[in-house]
Structure formats: structure tokens, C-alpha cells
A and B are shown apart, each in its own frame.
Chain A
């Protein structure tokens, strides 16, 4: 069985974090080495512990300050709303609709008269 030189063992160990915590894979000879290298196995165990810790942290939610929503809304009231985001009053919408309809009707009539 081929025994990896120390330098190669170090190279494999330096990749173990990406294997345990990321999505990298060791080549087959690397896996075989890990199977008989206690240092590499210890490294794997340490990163698995860290991985379990991350999993535990993922479940945490901190509570935002009670006044956060109020603070944001207060600030937003000072931010002017651009004209294109202002709600259009119903009267203006209705007037626009009537104007568009009238324009279309007039255009159609003109075309009929021309024909």
C-alpha cells in the first residue's frame, strides 16, 4: 500500500474543511489516506463539530427592538414618494379612461369617413 509523503498528507488536511463544510470531495487516494491517518481523522472530527455548531446557530432568531418598525416608518415619512409611485386619485383615473376611449372612438370614426 502506498504511504503518502507528509507533504501530501498536509495537502489533504488543508482541504478537509472544504470537504466537511463545503461541497468538495477528496480523490480516492485521499480517502484511502484518511482511512488510515489519525491526524486527518482528527481534523475531520473537528470540522464536523464546527458543522454541528453552524447547524445549531442556524436555528436562532434574535428579536428586533420593539420600536424598529416605528423607527423605519418615521424615517420613511421623511422620504418623499416619487411622483411615479404616488397613488393616482380615482377621479384622475376615470378622466384618463374617458379621454382615451374618446380618442379611440374619434380615430375610428375619422378612418370610416376617410374610407
Chain B
């Protein structure tokens, strides 16, 4: 039985059809796309800002931007990739608007540790402990560093994609990632 938290699997053809309908102005089709991608978009936003309310606002903003931008979506990338890029941009804009909320390091009450999370929770034990430690370490990273770590190490984006999304050079993305990795190592108990 599938995980109830996981979005339903979508056939690529079905999704392309929904995208075409939405591009033509069909809001029902777009609503279906939102349903299918809401958890993924929300999870990404939550990882970037570590605050459920802000993540919900960012997800909402991302879907509205997607609706407006749909006529320009050519389908070169998957819809998921495209909406994730928009989410990163929305989080970036949000950060500028609400900087004071986003700079604070977070404590054990990490929203990604809440009971609505799914995935590997059933696989308790060492993975769970490691995950919690890593999450706490990620929370202590400065936002720009956390963003590149989330995009590279959790979502598998290339340095080029990260640089493009964040409006920085590839070298800057690499430097941020390098520094972030070493900070994580330090937070997790490595030597300085």
C-alpha cells in the first residue's frame, strides 16, 4: 500500500495533458496540478525557510506565479522541475521581504520534525537520529548556504541550476556549498 502522504503517481502523458489544458486557461486542470504537486512544493519551501506558515505562503505564491507563467512554459523540463524553480525564486523573494523572520537559528522544534512528515519515519533507529542531527545542523547554517545544500544535496540540482535560480555565479555556488559542508561537518562534531 502506498504512503498516504505521497502525492499520487502521475503518468507523464496525463501531466502534459493537464499542463496543456491549464495553459489554455482551464483552472480545473491547474487545480489538479496543484493537488499533485502541493506536498512536494511545500516540502521544498519548508526546507528552505524552516517555518510552516512561511512555507505555506511561499507555496501559494509559487503556484500563483506558475499560473501566470504557464503560457511561457514550453515543457522542456518536467512540470515538477519548473514549479520547484519557481518555488526557490518565491522563497528568495519572500526572504527579502521578511528578512527579520528568516535569519534566526532554529531549535529542536524544527517543523520538518513534525508528525505530518512521512517517508522513512517507520525506519526508526540510527537513520532517524542521524537525520535529526543533520537537520539541526542544517538549521544553524546561514540561509544562503542552507539553500545551496538543500538544492544540491537533497534535490540533486547541478551547480549551474543553483547559480541560475539564485542569480549567482557557478563559482559562488560551489564556494557556498563547500563552506556549508564544512560547517555541517563542524556542527556534527568534527574537528575545527
Contacts and interface: CB of A to CB of B under 8 A. Distances in A.
Contacts, number: 127
Interface stretch (B62-70, B88-96, B98-106, B164-172): B62-70
Interface stretch (B11-19, B74-82, B116-124): B116-124
B5 interface: yes
Interface string A83-115: 011110000000000000000000000000000
Contact of A68 (B38, B127, B188): B38
B112 A17 contact: no
A63 B130 contact: no
A56 B39 contact: no
Contact of B135 (A43, A57, A76, A85): A57
Contact of A85 (B24, B55, B185): B24
Given A56-B131, A57-B134, A87-B25, A62 B43 contact: yes
Interface stretch (A2-10, A26-34, A47-55): A47-55
B181 interface: yes
B24 A87 contact: yes
Closest 4 CB pairs of A and B: A53-B134, A85-B25, A64-B42, A59-B119
A37 interface: no
18 contacts: A21-B153, A46-B190, A47-B181, A50-B184, A54-B153, A56-B120, A56-B131, A60-B112, A60-B119, A61-B6, A62-B43, A62-B46, A62-B112, A68-B56, A69-B31, A73-B34, A85-B23, A86-B25
Given A46-B188, A60-B119, 12 more contacts: A17-B178, A42-B191, A46-B190, A50-B188, A62-B39, A62-B112, A64-B38, A64-B41, A68-B34, A68-B56, A72-B64, A73-B27
B140 interface: no
Contacts of B24: 85, 87
A40 to B, nearest CB: 12
Contacts of B185: 17, 43, 46-47, 50
A59 B116 CA distance: 14
Q: Is the interface of A mostly helix, strand, loop or mixed?
A: helix
Interface residues of A, number: 37
A69 B135 CA distance: 28
B141 interface: no
Contacts of B127: 52, 56
Contacts of B111: 62
Contacts of A69: 31, 34-35, 38
Nearest to A52: B130
Nearest to B159: A22
